[in-house]
């Protein structure tokens, strides 16, 4: 087995739905509303995947077909499914990233400027098995948000939570284990579509 194959096999990932331990309920609802009301910004594949998940996993009283429910009801009732289904989580996060691509470009510049090893913006992060559990202790969310605000003073419309979530999505990491930056494992390269 080649060295890179051995390294890949040793890297541990947290399942996508582990993000729930790091998201406030109000922000999770906001993300779900953004995605479910932002269908016009999504590809047909993204819409189809989300609709399939909602139809299969989100039960809304009074609606035989959950897709027909108003966005606010879908978002509210999708929270429980979001907590349990890793495939739904990664589909929601991928759609959220599509909607917030301008923020993604800024956060990408921020992270790469701080020498984070991140996949290119166009990489398909859904192909990864989940989140890497290590996060540099020197660069926690408060620090990254402050750096974002300093580096992009004309971009104050984004909330701290949005900036933090974009850092999580682009880095493919959750702050489950805080380590020195030099000890952070690199993400394996994603496979191309």
Per domain, the residue ranges of the chain are 12-92, 100-184
115-135 residue pLDDT tens:
999 999 999 999 999 999 999
Query: Both tokens of residue 89?
Result: 């989580």
pTM of the entire predicted model: 0.90
pLDDT digits (tens, 9 = 90+) for 14-25: 999 999 999 999
Query: Please, how many CA atoms are within 13 Å of residue 129, restricted to the half-sphere of its CB?
Result: 10
User: Would the pLDDT of 169 be above 90?
Assistant: yes
Measure the CA–CA gap between 153 and 148, rounded to whole angstroms.
Answer: 8
More confident residue, 53 or 7: 53
Q: What is the pLDDT of residues 52-98, one digit of tens each?
A: 999 999 999 999 999 999 999 999 999 999 999 999 999 999 999 99
């Amino acid at each position: 087995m080649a060295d890179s194959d051995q390294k890949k096999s040793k890297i541990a990932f947290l399942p996508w739905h582990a993000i729930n331990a790091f998201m406030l309920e109000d922000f999770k609802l906001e993300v779900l509303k953004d995605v479910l009301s932002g269908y016009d910004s999504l590809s047909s594949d993204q819409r189809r995947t989300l609709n399939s998940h909602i139809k299969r996993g989100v039960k809304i009283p009074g609606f035989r077909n959950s897709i027909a429910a108003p966005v606010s009801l879908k978002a509210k009732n999708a929270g429980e499914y979001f907590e349990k289904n890793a495939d739904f989580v990664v589909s929601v996060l991928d759609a959220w990233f599509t909607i917030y691509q301008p923020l993604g470009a800024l956060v990408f510049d921020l992270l790469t400027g701080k020498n984070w090893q991140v996949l290119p913006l166009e990489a398909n992060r859904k192909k990864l098995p989940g989140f890497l559990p290590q996060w540099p202790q020197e660069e926690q969310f408060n620090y990254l948000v402050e750096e974002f605000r300093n580096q992009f003073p004309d971009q104050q419309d984004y909330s701290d939570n949005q900036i933090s979530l974009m850092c999580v999505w682009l880095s493919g990491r959750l702050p489950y284990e805080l380590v020195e930056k030099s000890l952070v494992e690199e993400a394996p390269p994603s496979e191309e579509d």
